[in-house]
Amino acid sequence: MNISLLFSSCAVFIFLFSAYASEQTYFLNKDYISKINSVARTWKVGINFHPETPLKFILRLLGSKGVQASTTYLFKSNDPLYKTILSIPKEFDARKRWKNCTTIGTIRDQGNCGSCWAFSTSGAFADRLCIASNGKFNQLLSAEQVTSCCYRCGLGCQGGYPIKAWQYYNTRGLVTGGNFNSFQLVKDFPYVLVYENIQKDMMIYGPIESSFDVYDDFISYKSGVYSKTPNATYLGGHSVKCIGWGVERNVPYWLMMNSWNSTWGDGGYFKIRRGTNECKVEDSSTAGVPEY
């Protein structure tokens, strides 16, 4: 190889590399993060990802096609048991309500795969089975199975519809991580919850799935109650498990479990503003009722 050819291929490489690098992580760099910290009032930002993490990696984590659930799905507006809830407590934490169900507080890691929709729904399904079985069933269910086997759910690691994952549990069942016992056992059709009933449904049956719009400031969330900062840029839809609610410094919130490892956010958890449909989080909660 002559010198000029070597030089030009090297230049092409450098050009491509720098184009790629500059595309990477504007929202992960320190200046951007400290700017968010100066604007966000109710929450704090910090370093969750290495600043050179490629943009592609981050976008791939956002695999929910279920933000603002379509009206073609079943919306659950009533349940005879809802009447048994006479008042909604100011705070609720499913981990404390059902202490024996340790899966409720188990943070998972979806890795470099857009299977948040599978982790959130299979997680809530396992929790609800534990609650329905009075603690006899207390295991994780396989997010991998639904990610790779449910063709109707979407595109596996490239994203999926949470409600379709519930439908898959209804018709096909789901195995535990360790053995091959399959748990199907959904009593009725899975449903999308209307805002008014989200809390009642959680108090009776357990955690639910929630989808919401992710903006670039959310990626670096560390603590407090998240609400989008004014200039944040939309990145994609994400799906998580909702395990409760509360009020922090007069701001109501939903308590959420992410599937980006316990190194992300507040030990793997985050809080998001409640009651104002923040990032459409109250438009698209899904669940099902397991029968044990």
Tell me the angle at which helices 116-132 and 198-205 cross, rounded to the nearest 10 degrees.
50
Name the segment binding ligand NAG (CB under 6 A); options: 63-71, 86-94, 103-111, 271-279. 103-111
Smallest gap from Cβ 75 to ligand NAG, in A, equals 32
What character string, x for contact with ligand NAG (CB under 6 A) and - otherwise, covers 127-166? -------xx-------------------------------
Q: How far apart are CA 4 and CA 96, in angstroms?
A: 68
Q: Which stretch binds ligand NAG (CB under 6 A): 61-69, 89-97, 220-228, 255-263?
A: 255-263
Strands, E assignment, the chain? 43-45, 75-76, 92-93, 174-175, 182-183, 191-193, 208-215, 221-226, 234-248, 251-257, 269-273, 285-287
* Amino acid making up residue 62: L
Does 108 interact with ligand NAG (rule: CB under 6 A)? Answer: yes
- Active site annotation includes 116: yes
269's tokens? 């958890």
Instruction: Tell whether residue 8 is a contact of ligand NAG (CB under 6 A).
Output: no
Residue 292 beta carbon to ligand NAG: minimum distance, rounded to whole angstroms: 12
In this complex, which beta carbon is closest to ligand NAG, that of residue 220 or of residue 285? Answer: 220
Does 34 engage in binding with ligand NAG (CB under 6 A)? Answer: no
Q: Is 238 a catalytic residue?
A: yes
The span from the CA of 261 to the CA of 248, in Å, is 24
Overall residue count recorded for the chain in this entry? 292
DSSP state of 30: H
- Candidates 275, 280, 262, 289; CA nearest to 185 is 289
Rounded to the nearest whole angstrom, what is the least distance from the CB of residue 134 to ligand NAG in the complex? 4
Interface with ligand NAG, residue 100, by CB under 6 A: yes
Helix (H) or strand (E) holding 177: none
Of 39, 59, 81, 88, the one binding ligand NAG by CB under 6 A: 39
Angle formed at CA 64 by CA 59 and CA 65, multiple of 5 degrees? 115
Site string for ligand NAG, 179-208 (x = CB under 6 A): ------------------------------
* Number of chain positions touching ligand NAG (CB under 6 A): 12
80 binds ligand NAG (CB under 6 A): no
Q: Which of 48, 113, 197, 238 is labelled catalytic?
A: 238
Question: Which spans in 45-115 are helix H?
Answer: 55-60, 94-97
Please state the closest distance from residue 187 (CB atom) to ligand NAG, in A: 20
Q: Specify the 3-state DSSP secondary structure of 89.
A: coil
Which residues are tagged catalytic? 116, 238, 258
Q: Which residue ranges make up the site for ligand NAG (CB under 6 A)?
A: 39, 100, 107-109, 134-135, 230-231, 261-263
